Amino acid sequence: MFPEQGYTYEEYKETADWLLANTQHRPLIAIICGSGLGGLAEILKDQKVFSYSDIPNFPQSTVHGHAGRLVFGNLNGKSCVCMQGRFHLYEGYPIWKVTFPIRIFQLLGVETVIVTNAAGGLSEDYKVGDVMLIKDHINMPGFAGNNPLVGPNDERFGVRFPCMSDAYDRGLRKLAKTVARELGFSDFLKEGVYCVLGGPSFETIAECRMLRKLGADAVGMSTVHEVLVARHCGMRVFGLSLITNKAVMDYDSESKANHEEVLQTGRERASHLERMISSLIERLEHNNNVC
């Protein structure tokens, strides 16, 4: 692989081997925390924590609300690894560095990836604090060729042309709806399409209107690149978007999106997301949906 096109297989393996040598955990589930949702990692038991700065080859998270730690632990008898902080194109990272941890997870033995994010609500039916099950995505940077799978393909990870019509696992979404109903969360649980943009600026009114017409229900600056690599590696994906602000669609509106609003909404809804993900993982074991 050419240096400008990303890591070599040997570099991925070096990082995975280092982690395997420094923890007894052998995770089957990976959880990626979005802005303000890093508390999800705190529900893991018997934790082994690594700072990103201590892990060979690992990028560093620079965004407020992203702790920059990899947390291993157990949840309802299942071994998990949780990213407290992800990487974004707007931080200046090339896309192959943004998605670096996903291939590490595959080499660790992870089979299911749970992605969470903070997103702006485009659908008129969404309110701040709603949680959207991601059923599909629109990869706007990908339209311009910014895709993490660009470049020579390594068959040890996946095929050259991976299918994306089943990117978000239908069975896991169905299970999540059942879990939400039992927990009494159905009132704020939605299901829709997530659109990724490059950021870091929030969207203009015209851009929000265009994205809504294209079929997007929520918009953000992450997740999709990770999902592409996870599916390329053969891992199942379940995604949740926390609607932390309403996209501004009206030129007469005085509303303005801001990152502090995103973090505050994350804090307010965090306990519900923790209960939902914990229950989902517990039920995965019962239904043999993992391993």
Overall domain count for the chain: 1
Domain contains 275: no
Residue 281: the pLDDT is 93
Domain contains 201: yes
Domain that holds residue 210: 3-247
Query: Residue 233's domain is classified under what CATH number?
Result: 3.40.50.1580
Instruction: Enter the pTM of the model.
Output: 0.92
Digit-coded pLDDT (tens) for 194-214? 999 999 999 999 999 999 999
Residue 254: the pLDDT is 78
Digit-coded pLDDT (tens) for 65-96? 667 999 999 998 899 999 998 999 999 999 99
Domain contains 59: yes
Domain contains 271: no
Domain contains 198: yes
**Paired tokens of 61:** 């998270």
Residue 269: the pLDDT is 83
Q: How far apart are CA 75 and CA 92, in angstroms?
A: 34
Burial of 290 (0-12, 13-18, 19+ CB in 10 A): middle
Residue 288: the pLDDT is 42
Domain contains 117: yes
Of the pLDDT bands very low, low, confident and very high (cuts 50, 70, 90), residue 290 is very low
Task: Give the catalytic positions in this structure.
Answer: 35, 66, 88, 90-91, 118, 221-222, 245, 259
Domain contains 259: no
Domain contains 200: yes
Dihedral of alpha carbons 37, 42, 45, 51, sign: positive
What is the residue whose two structure tokens read 């994205």? Answer: 211
